[in-house]
C-alpha cells in the first residue's frame, strides 16, 4: 500500500561507521585503513533490500570508500541507481578553506567517474556542513561541473543547518540546484523530517505521517537519507565517545532495517536526479 502517489527521493550516504563527525576527535583519518571496515557488506545489504522492493536510489559516496571498494560503485551503477559525491574524506566543508574544498570535490568526482564511467551530477556535504558563512560551496560545486547539491538542512541544529533556507528545491544564483533535506513546518520552526538519526529517534508511525503530510499538504516530494552503518547494530562500539554522541550514533540501530523495509513498502521512491531534476 502506498500512502501517496508522489514519488520521493531515497538517498544513502556511503561512509563507514568510524568516519562520522561525532568520532572526529579520537579517530584520525590516518588510522582509517587499520580499522575493521564494514561499509561494503552493509552497502551490499542495502542494495539487496532495494532490489527486493524494486526501489532505485541515489548513493552519495565518499571518494575514499570508492577507492578501496570499487565493487560498491560498480554495483550501484550496474543496478540502475544514481552515483553521486559525498566528497573525498568526509571532511566538513565548514572546516575547509575554499581551495581545500575545491580540491576535495574535484578529487572525489574524478575517482567516482573513473570507476563508474558515469558523469557525477550530485553532491552532498558531509554533515550538511553548508552554512551562511560558506555559501561559496555552491559556487565551487557549479564551477567544478556538479549540477545539484543536497547539502542544506533548513533546521536549527548544534552541528549544521540554515534555519531560514527554503524548505524545497531551489536554484542558486549561479544555476546550481539545491535540494534541501526534508523538514516539517510547525509554526515558525522547521523540524527535521528527512531520515538519519531522526528516523531512528521518532516512532515509525510519526515518520510515515510526516512524509505523507509533505506529499499531500505541501504537494512536495520528500528527500530521505540514511547511512549503511545505521543498519549495522553489530558494529564496534566507540566507548571513548561522549554520551551525547553515543546516544545519537547507537540509538535504535537494531530497529533501522525493519523500519526501512516498511518505508520502502509504504511510499514510492526513486533516484534524486529522477525526482528533482
Q: pLDDT grade, residue 4 (50/70/90)? A: confident
| 82-118 per-position pLDDT tens digit | 999 999 999 999 999 999 999 999 999 999 999 999 9
CATH number at residue 200: 3.20.20.370
| Confidence at residue 157, expressed as pLDDT on a 0 to 100 scale | 77
> Residues 77, 116: contact at Cβ < 8 Å?
yes
122 in a domain, yes or no?
yes
Note whether residue 2 is domain-resident: no
Question: How far, in whole angstroms, is CA 234 from its chain's centroid?
Answer: 21
- Whether 158 shows a pLDDT value over 90: the answer reads no
Task: List, as one string, the DSSP characters of 194-231.
Answer: SBTHHHHHS-HHHHHHHHHHHHHTS----EEEE-GGGG
Can you spell out the DSSP letters for 121-189?
A: -EE--GGG---GGGTHHHHHHHHTT--EE-----S--SS---TTS-SS-EE-TTS-EE-PPPEEEETTE
Q: Is the pLDDT of residue 81 over 80?
A: yes
- Is residue 127 situated within a structural domain? yes
Residue 257 lies in a domain: yes
Helix/strand number for the chain, H first, E second: 10, 11
- The structural domain count of the chain equals 1
Assigned domain for 148 exists: yes
- Whether pLDDT at 2 is above 80: no
Share of the chain above pLDDT 90, in %: 96
At residue 161, the pLDDT reads 83
Does 1 map to a domain?
no
Closest CA to 43 of 70, 8, 9: 70
Domain that holds residue 65: 7-276
Domain assignment of residue 251, yes or no: yes
Average pLDDT score over the chain? 96
Q: Give the total residue count for the chain.
A: 277
| pLDDT higher than 90, residue 156 | no
Tell me, yes or no, whether 111 lies in a domain: yes
Span 212-237, pLDDT tens digits = 999 999 999 999 999 999 999 999 99
**Mean pLDDT, range 182-206, rounded to an integer:** 95
Q: Is the pTM value of this prediction over 0.95?
A: yes
Quick one: pLDDT at residue 1?
63
Amino acid at each position: 500500500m502506498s500512502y501517496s502517489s508522489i514519488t520521493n527521493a531515497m538517498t544513502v550516504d556511503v561512509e563507514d561507521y568510524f568516519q562520522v563527525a561525532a568520532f572526529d576527535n579520537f579517530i584520525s583519518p590516518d588510522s582509517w585503513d587499520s580499522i575493521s571496515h564494514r561499509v561494503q557488506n552493509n552497502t551490499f545489504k542495502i542494495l539487496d533490500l532495494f532490489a527486493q522492493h524494486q526501489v532505485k536510489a541515489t548513493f552519495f559516496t565518499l571518494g575514499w570508500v570508492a577507492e578501496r571498494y570499487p565493487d560498491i560503485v560498480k554495483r550501484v551503477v550496474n543496478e540502475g541507481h544514481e552515483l553521486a559525491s559525498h566528497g573525498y574524506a568526509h571532511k566538513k566543508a565548514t572546516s575547509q578553506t575554499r581551495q581545500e574544498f575545491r580540491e576535495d570535490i574535484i578529487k572525489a568526482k574524478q575517482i567516482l567517474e573513473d570507476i563508474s564511467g558515469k558523469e557525477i551530477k550530485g553532491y552532498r556535504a558531509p554533515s550538511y556542513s553548508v552554512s551562511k558563512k560558506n555559501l561559496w560551496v555552491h559556487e565551487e560545486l557549479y564551477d567544478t561541473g556538479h549540477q545539484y547539491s543536497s547539502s542544506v538542512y533548513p533546521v536549527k541544529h548544534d552541528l549544521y543547518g540554515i534555519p531560514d533556507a527554503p524548505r524545497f528545491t531551489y536554484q542558486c544564483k549561479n544555476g546550481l540546484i539545491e535540494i534541501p533535506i526534508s523538514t516539517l513546518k510547525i509554526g515558525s520552526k522547521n523540524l527535521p523530517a528527512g531520515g538519519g538519526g531522526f528516523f531512528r529517534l521518532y516512532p515509525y508511525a510519526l515518520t510515515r505521517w510526516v512524509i505523507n503530510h509533505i506529499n499531500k499538504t505541501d504537494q512536495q516530494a520528500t528527500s530521505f537519507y540514511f547511512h549503511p552503518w545505521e543498519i549495522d547494530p553489530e558494529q564496534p562500539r566507540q566507548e571513548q565517545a561522549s554520551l551525547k554522541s553515543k546516544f545519537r550514533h547507537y540509538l535504535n540501530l537494531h530497529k533501522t532495517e525493519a523500519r526501512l523495509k516498511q518505508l520502502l513498502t509504504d511510499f514510492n521512491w526513486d533516484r534524486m536526479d529522477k525526482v528533482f531534476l
